[in-house]
C-alpha cells in the first residue's frame, strides 16, 4: 500500500509487543482449490449505497469435494451453482469409483447451500454430491453494500455527486466479490460494470466494450482480461472523472481526478511518464499492462494503493499545481507516484506468498521511491529526507515492544497492523544498506533476476535474498536474515583506534537501557562501511575492523546508509565533530546528530553534551542538518523541560540562533530553495520560543494573508500562520474555518484543517474537536486533526479529555486504521497518570489492529517519563551554566 508516512506524525510511531495474545484461530482458506479465472458483472446503486454482483469462478479442485470455502464479508448470497468442466478424460477412473456416469461436455449443475462464518469472513458452499476433481465452474449471484469505511467497495462523496470506489488491500476484496482472497491464489479477471449512463468507469485494464443497457439509463462497460494477479490488486472506480493523458515507452498513461480538480493532474502525469521509462530500464521488464491510470479519490484511507494498472491516491498525494505548486506537495506527489509504480513490478508482477513478507514489498517501494525521486529531482534532496526518516525509524525500533520485520500474521486485524514503520521505514533502510554494500549495478541485476524468475507468480524473502546472494557472491542472505528475523536496532561501539585496527563490538540498542537483560544475545551480520574505504561485514565474532591509515578521523557509517547506531570513544567523537561540517556529507551529519541524541535518550551522555553539539552546528549551511538539530532541541523542550527550563532554554535558542537567522537576510523572488528552507527552519524554532521579532513578522504575514494581499515572504508563510493562530481569537478562527469549508484545492484545504488544530485557546480547541467529528469533515481528515491535537504539548490534555468523552462519535467516523493512529498519538504523553489513563481507557475500548500499537504507546510514555526524570536535573545544570552567558 501507499505511503503512511506523510500521514503519521513525526515522532509518533508504531511497533510490536510480541506476538498478539489470544490469537484468533488461523483464518486461511482450507486449500485444495485453485482459482484460475474470475468473470464478474457488478451493478452498483450509488444512491441506495448497495450493489449486486454475478460472478463465475473457474477453479481447479485437487480432489473431489462436496464443500468449497472461500472468503466473503458483508455479502448476501443468492443462488450459487457449480458444474464440472472436465471433458471426460482425466477423471474417468475417479468417476467410475464414485459409481456415476461419465458425461461429455458440461456436467450436471448443482445448487449449493451456503453457510457463512462471519467471524472468519468465509462462506462455505456445500453440494449434495461431491464435485469431481479437476476444472469446476462456480457461479455466484450476490448482493453487497457500499460502506462508508473506506474499505472494500465503498462510497466517496463530493458536493456534486457520489462515487463508488474500491480499496482491497489487505483483506477487503471479499467485501466486493466472494473470492479466494489470499495473495498466493492468483487468477485472471474479467471485470464488467453496469452503471448509470454518463458515468465513467476505470479498472485495471483497458475497456473492450461499452454498450447501452442492460436497462434504459444504464451502460455496461467491459474491461480486458487482466494478467494473472492477486485479488487485493483488483480495482474499479465509478463516477465522474476527468483525466490528463500522455504516453511513455508506448504505454498510455492517464492521471484522473474529479472534474473540478483535473487541472491539478499535469505534474503527476510528467512524474509518471518519467518513472515508467526509468523503471522499464531498471527492472529490464517492460511495464506489464497495456495502460496505466493514476486516480485521485476524494475519500481515501492510506496515501495511495498500487492496484495493478489502476493506482488510487488520496487527493493530496497526487494533485499539485504544476507551476506555482508548493514544493512540499510536489515532492510528496513525485515520491508517492514513484513508490506505487515500483509496486507494479515489485508486488504486483511478483507478489509475496503471504502477508508475513509484506515488508519485502513495502521496504522495496520505500527504498525505490527515494532512489527514483532523487534521480528525477536531484535538487529536492530526497536522500536527506531518507536520513531523517531512518533516524526516526531507528528510535521507533529501539523500544522494548518493537517487532521483527518479518512477523506472523493470520487474521485481518493482525495483517492490518503489519502496515507500520517497521515494514516501510526499517525494511526500506535495510534494503538500502544492502544496495550500498553490494553496489548499485550488482543489486539491480539481483532485482532483475528475482523478478524474471517469479513474474506473474509469488515469492518469499528467501527467494529474494537467495537470488541476491547468488548474483553478488556475497552473504546477502545472512545479512538480511539477521535484520529481518530479529527485532531491534544494533549499536556498534568503536573503541580507540590502535594502529591499523579499530576495536569493535555490537549489542542491541534500547532507548530504555535498564530493560536490557544480561542474557540477551541478539547479534547481527552488519555491513559496516567506513567513509572513504570499503565495507566489512561485522559478525558476532568480530572484535576489530581494519582502518585506513593516516586519516584525521573516521566515520563508521559512510553515507548514513547503514541501519545501526554508532558509539565512539570520546577522542574519536571529538575528531569527528571537529571535522563534521567539512568532512561529512549532509546525511552523515544527520546520522551523527541522530546517534548522539539517541544515546542520550538511552542514558549515555547528558542532554547538556548533546546541546553543546547542537549549538556547534548552528552555522551549518544545510537546512536538513539544521532542522535535525532544532527538532531534537524541540524534543528537549517538549519531553524534558519544565516550564521554568523552557524559559531559559528559549533564551538560549534566541541568543544562539537569532543571529544566524538575521544573518540570512530577507527572502525574495530569486532566493534559492535551500536558503528559503534554512530560513524557514530557523524562523519556526525561534517562533516556538517566542522570539519577538519573529512573532511580529509572523503576525504581519498572517494579516496580509487574511487581507488578501500577497505576503512579503512566501518561504515563512505557513510557519507564520501556525505561529500566529496559536494565540488567535474567535475572529481569526472564523476566517480559517471558512477557508477550510470553501477551499477546493485539496492541499490547501488540508492545510486549513491542520491550521485549525493550531489554535490554542481552550474554547477554540473544543470547537476544532467538535468540528473534526462532525459530518462536515471527511473521515480521512477527522483522525488526522485529532491526532495532531493529541500530539502537541499545548493541546493534548484537552484533546485527550475529548477523545474519552466522545469516543462513540470518533468510532462512528472511524476507518480501517484511524483508531490505531489515535492510540499511537497518545504515546506523546509523558506522565504516569496519563499513561495509566491511556492503558485503562483502551483496555475498556479496544481498537481493532492496535494491540502492538498500544504496547508501543505505553512503552513510549514510559521512555519519556524515564528520560525526564534522569535528564531534567542535567538540563537544569546546563541551563544555569549557559543561559545567562
By annotation, the residues acting in catalysis are 340
User: Minimum CB separation from Zn ion for residue 358, in Å?
Assistant: 9
Query: What totals of helices (H) and strands (E) does the chain contain, helices first?
Result: 28, 28
576 Cβ contact list (under 8 Å, min separation 6): 553, 554, 555, 568, 583, 584, 592
- Integer Cα distance of 658 and 540 in angstroms: 47
Question: Would you say 336 or 795 has its CB closer to Zn ion?
Answer: 336
C-alpha cell, 783? 483522525
508 Cβ contact list (under 8 Å, min separation 6): 488, 489, 490, 491, 516, 520, 522
By CB under 5 A, the residues from 558 to 617 that bind Zn ion are none
Does 422 help bind Zn ion (rule: CB under 5 A)? Answer: no
User: Minimum CB separation from Zn ion for residue 359, in Å?
Assistant: 11
Question: Would you say 371 or 876 has its CB closer to Zn ion?
Answer: 371
Does 365 help bind Zn ion (rule: CB under 5 A)? Answer: yes
By CB under 5 A, the residues from 220 to 279 that bind Zn ion are none
Does 484 help bind Zn ion (rule: CB under 5 A)? Answer: no
User: Minimum CB separation from Zn ion for residue 88, in Å?
Assistant: 47
823 Cβ contact list (under 8 Å, min separation 6): 842, 847, 850, 853, 854, 857
Which span sits near Zn ion by CB under 5 A: 132-140, 355-363, 626-634, 849-857? 355-363
707 Cβ contact list (under 8 Å, min separation 6): none
| Cα 392 to chain centroid, rounded | 14
- Integer Cα distance of 11 and 791 in angstroms: 9
CA angle 452, 457, 462 (to 5 degrees): 75
x/- letters, 720..749, toward Zn ion (CB under 5 A): ------------------------------
User: Minimum CB separation from Zn ion for residue 365, in Å?
Assistant: 4
Residue 774 CB neighbours (<10 A): 11
Total site size for Zn ion, rule CB under 5 A: 2
User: Minimum CB separation from Zn ion for residue 343, in Å?
Assistant: 6
Q: Which residues of 460-478 are buried (b: 16+ CB within 10 A; e: fewer)?
A: bbebbbbbbbebbebbbbe
Question: Would you say 178 or 183 has its CB closer to Zn ion?
Answer: 183
- Integer Cα distance of 778 and 756 in angstroms: 15
- Integer Cα distance of 709 and 707 in angstroms: 6
Question: Would you say 238 or 405 has its CB closer to Zn ion?
Answer: 405
User: Minimum CB separation from Zn ion for residue 128, in Å?
Assistant: 45
Which span sits near Zn ion by CB under 5 A: 38-46, 82-90, 260-268, 365-373? 365-373
Query: Cell 536538513 maps to which residue?
Result: 624
User: Minimum CB separation from Zn ion for residue 431, in Å?
Assistant: 13
User: Minimum CB separation from Zn ion for residue 428, in Å?
Assistant: 10
Strand order in the sheet with 65-71: 65-71, 122-131, 113-117
Q: Which sign, positive or negative, has the C-alpha torsion 578, 583, 585, 588?
A: negative
Question: Would you say 406 or 639 has its CB closer to Zn ion?
Answer: 406
Question: Would you say 232 or 733 has its CB closer to Zn ion?
Answer: 232
Measured in residues, the chain has a length of: 885
282 Cβ contact list (under 8 Å, min separation 6): 444, 447
Q: Is 119 exposed, middle or buried (0-12, 13-18, 19+ CB in 10 A)?
A: exposed
For residue 232, which of 145, 147, 117, 347 has the smallest C-alpha distance? 347
Contact between 219 and 195 under an 8 Å Cβ cutoff? The reply is: yes
Question: Would you say 415 or 737 has its CB closer to Zn ion?
Answer: 415
User: Minimum CB separation from Zn ion for residue 364, in Å?
Assistant: 9
- Integer Cα distance of 748 and 326 in angstroms: 10
Contact between 559 and 436 under an 8 Å Cβ cutoff? The reply is: yes
Question: Would you say 334 or 365 has its CB closer to Zn ion?
Answer: 365
Does 418 help bind Zn ion (rule: CB under 5 A)? Answer: no
Does 528 help bind Zn ion (rule: CB under 5 A)? Answer: no
Contact between 638 and 646 under an 8 Å Cβ cutoff? The reply is: no
By CB under 5 A, the residues from 17 to 46 that bind Zn ion are none
Residue 652, CB half-sphere, CA atoms under 13 Å: how many? 26
Residue 339, CB half-sphere, CA atoms under 13 Å: how many? 29
Query: Cell 489492529 maps to which residue?
Result: 849
Which span sits near Zn ion by CB under 5 A: 218-226, 359-367, 409-417, 716-724? 359-367
User: Minimum CB separation from Zn ion for residue 543, in Å?
Assistant: 40
User: Minimum CB separation from Zn ion for residue 339, in Å?
Assistant: 6
- Integer Cα distance of 154 and 150 in angstroms: 6
Which span sits near Zn ion by CB under 5 A: 141-149, 363-371, 624-632, 856-864? 363-371
C-alpha cell, 274? 518519467
User: Minimum CB separation from Zn ion for residue 2, in Å?
Assistant: 5
User: Minimum CB separation from Zn ion for residue 806, in Å?
Assistant: 33
Does 68 help bind Zn ion (rule: CB under 5 A)? Answer: no
C-alpha cell, 748? 490547501
CA distances from 339 to 270, 317, 372 (A): 15, 11, 9
Q: Which residues of 277-290 are buried (b: 16+ CB within 10 A; e: fewer)?
A: ebbbebbeeebbbe
Full DSSP string of 274-343: HHHHHHHHHHSS--SSS-EEEEEESS-SSSEE--TTEEEEEGGGT---TTT--HHHHHHHHHHHHHHHHH
Which span sits near Zn ion by CB under 5 A: 356-364, 493-501, 801-809, 862-870? 356-364
Using CB under 5 A, list all residues that contact Zn ion: 362, 365
Amino acid at each position: 500500500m501507499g505511503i503512511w508516512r506523510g500521514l503519521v506524525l513525526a515522532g509518533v510511531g508504531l511497533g510490536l509487543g510480541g506476538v498478539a495474545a489470544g490469537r484468533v484461530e488461523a483464518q486461511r482458506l482450507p486449500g485444495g482449490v485453485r482459482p484460475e479465472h474470475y468473470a464478474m458483472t457488478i451493478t452498483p446503486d450509488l444512491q441506495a449505497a448497495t450493489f449486486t454482483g454475478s460472478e463465475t469462478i473457474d477453479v481447479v479442485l485437487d480432489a473431489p469435494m462436496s464443500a468449497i470455502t472461500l472468503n466473503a464479508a458483508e455479502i448476501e448470497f443468492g443462488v450459487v451453482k457449480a458444474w464440472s468442466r472436465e471433458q471426460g478424460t482425466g477423471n474417468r477412473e475417479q468417476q467410475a469409483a464414485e459409481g456415476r456416469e461419465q458425461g461429455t461436455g458440461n456436467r450436471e449443475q448443482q445448487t449449493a447451500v451456503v453457510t457463512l462464518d462471519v467471524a472468519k469472513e468465509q462462506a462455505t458452499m456445500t453440494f449434495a454430491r461431491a464435485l469431481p476433481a479437476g476444472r469446476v465452474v462456480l457461479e455466484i449471484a450476490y448482493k453487497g453494500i457500499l460502506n462508508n469505511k473506506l474499505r472494500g467497495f465503498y462510497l466517496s462523496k463530493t458536493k456534486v455527486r457520489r462515487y463508488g470506489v474500491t480499496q482491497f488491500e489487505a483483506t477487503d476484496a471479499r467485501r466486493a466479490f466472494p473470492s479466494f482472497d489470499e495473495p498466493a491464489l492468483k487468477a485472471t479477471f474479467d471485470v464488467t460494470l453496469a452503471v448509470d449512463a454518463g458515468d465513467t468507469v476505470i479498472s485495471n485494464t483497458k475497456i473492450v466494450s461499452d454498450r447501452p443497457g442492460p436497462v434504459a439509463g444504464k451502460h455496461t462497460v467491459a474491461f480486458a482480461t487482466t494478467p494473472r494477479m492477486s485479488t487485493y490488486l483488483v480495482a474499479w472506480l465509478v463516477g465522474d472523472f476527468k483525466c490528463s493523458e500522455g504516453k511513455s515507452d508506448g504505454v498510455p498513461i492517464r492521471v484522473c481526478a474529479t472534474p473540478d480538480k483535473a487541472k491539478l493532474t499535469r505534474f503527476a502525469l510528467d512524474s509518471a511518464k518519467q518513472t515508467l521509462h526509468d523503471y522499464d530500464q531498471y527492472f529490464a521488464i517492460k511495464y506489464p499492462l497495456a495502460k496505466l491510470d493514476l486516480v485521485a479519490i476524494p475519500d481515501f484511507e492510506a496515501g495511495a494503493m498500487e492496484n495493478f494498472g489502476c493506482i488510487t491516491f488520496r487527493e493530496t498525494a497526487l494533485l499539485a499545481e504544476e507551476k506555482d505548486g508548493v514544493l512540499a506537495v510536489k515532492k510528496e506527489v513525485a515520491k508517492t507516484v514513484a513508490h506505487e509504480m515500483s509496486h507494479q513490478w515489485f508486488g504486483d508482477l511478483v507478489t509475496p506468498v503471504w502477508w508475513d513478507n509484506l515488508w519485502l514489498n513495502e521496504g522495496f517501494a520505500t527504498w525505490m521511491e527515494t532512489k527514483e525521486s532523487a534521480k528525477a529531482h536531484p535538487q529536492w534532496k530526497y536522500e536527506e529526507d531518507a536520513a531523517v526518516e531512518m533516524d526516526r525509524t531507528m528510535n521507533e525500533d529501539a523500544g522494548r515492544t518493537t517487532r521483527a520485520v518479518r512477523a506472523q500474521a493470520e487474521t485481518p486485524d493482525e495483517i492490518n497492523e503489519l502496515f507500520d514503520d517497521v515494514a516501510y521505514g526499517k525494511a526500506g533502510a535495510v534494503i538500502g544498506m544492502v544496495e550500498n554494500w553490494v553496489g548499485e549495478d550488482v543489486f539491480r541485476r539481483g532485482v532483475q533476476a528475482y523478478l524474471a524468475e517469479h513474474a506473474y507468480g509469488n515469492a518469499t524473502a528467501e527467494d529474494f535474498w537467495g537470488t541476491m546472494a547468488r548474483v553478488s557472491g556475497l552473504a546477502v542472505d545472512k545479512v538480511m536474515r539477521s535484520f529481518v528475523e530479529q527485532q531491534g536496532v544494533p549499536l556498534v561501539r568503536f573503541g580507540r583506534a590502535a594502529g591499523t585496527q579499530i576495536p569493535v563490538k555490537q549489542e542491541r540498542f534500547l532507548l530504555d537501557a535498564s530493560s536490557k537483560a544480561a542474557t540477551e544475545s541478539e547479534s547481527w551480520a552488519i555491513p559496516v562501511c567506513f567513509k572513504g574505504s570499503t565495507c566489512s561485514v561485522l559478525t558476532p565474532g568480530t572484535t576489530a575492523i581494519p582502518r585506513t591509515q593516516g586519516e584525521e578521523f573516521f566515520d563508521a557509517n559512510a553515507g548514513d546508509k547503514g541501519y545501526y547506531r554508532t558509539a565512539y570513544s570520546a577522542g574519536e567523537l571529538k575528531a569527528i565533530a571537529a571535522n563534521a561540517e567539512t568532512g561529512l556529507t549532509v546525511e552523515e551529519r544527520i546520522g551523527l546528530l541522530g546517534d548522539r541524541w539517541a544515546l542520550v535518550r538511552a542514558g549515555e551522555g547528558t542532554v547538556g553534551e548533546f546541546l553543546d553539539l547542537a549549538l556547534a552546528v548552528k552555522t551549518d549551511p544545510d537546512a536538513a542538518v539544521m532542522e535535525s538539530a532544532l527538532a531534537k532541541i524541540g524534543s528537549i523542550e517538549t519531553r524534558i523541560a519544565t516550564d521554568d527550563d523552557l524559559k531559559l532554554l528559549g533564551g538560549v535558542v534566541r541568543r544562539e540562533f537569532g543571529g544566524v537567522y538575521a544573518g540570512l537576510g530577507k527572502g525574495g523572488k530569486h532566493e534559492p530553495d535551500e536558503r528559503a528552507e534554512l530560513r524557514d527552519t530557523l524562523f519556526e524554532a525561534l517562533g516556538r520560543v517566542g522570539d519577538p521579532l519573529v512573532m511580529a513578522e509572523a503576525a504581519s504575514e498572517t494579516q496580509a494573508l487574511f487581507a488578501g494581499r500577497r505576503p512579503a515572504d512566501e518561504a515563512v508563510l505557513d510557519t507564520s500562520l501556525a505561529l500566529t493562530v496559536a494565540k488567535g481569537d474567535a475572529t481569526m478562527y472564523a476566517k480559517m474555518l471558512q477557508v477550510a469549508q470553501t477551499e477546493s484545492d485539496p492541499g490547501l484545504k488540508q492545510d486549513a484543517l491542520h491550521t485549525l488544530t493550531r489554535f490554542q485557546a481552550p474554547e477554540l480547541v473544543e470547537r476544532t474537536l467538535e468540528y473534526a467529528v462532525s459530518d462536515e469533515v471527511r473521515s480521512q481528515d477527522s483522525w488526522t486533526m485529532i491526532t495532531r491535537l493529541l500530539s502537541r504539548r499545548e493541546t493534548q490534555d484537552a484533546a485527550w479529555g475529548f477523545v474519552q468523552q466522545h469516543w462513540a462519535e470518533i468510532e462512528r467516523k472511524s476507518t480501517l486504521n484511524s483508531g490505531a493512529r489515535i492510540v499511537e498519538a497518545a504515546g506523546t504523553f509523558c506522565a504516569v497518570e496519563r499513561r495509566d489513563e491511556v492503558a485503562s481507557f483502551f483496555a475498556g475500548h479496544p481498537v481493532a489492529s492496535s494491540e502492538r500499537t498500544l504496547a508501543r504507546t505505553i512503552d513510549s510514555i514510559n521512555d519519556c517519563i524515564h528520560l525526564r526524570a534522569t535528564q531534567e536535573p542535567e538540563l537544569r545544570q546546563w541551563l544555569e551554566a549557559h543561559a545567562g552567558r
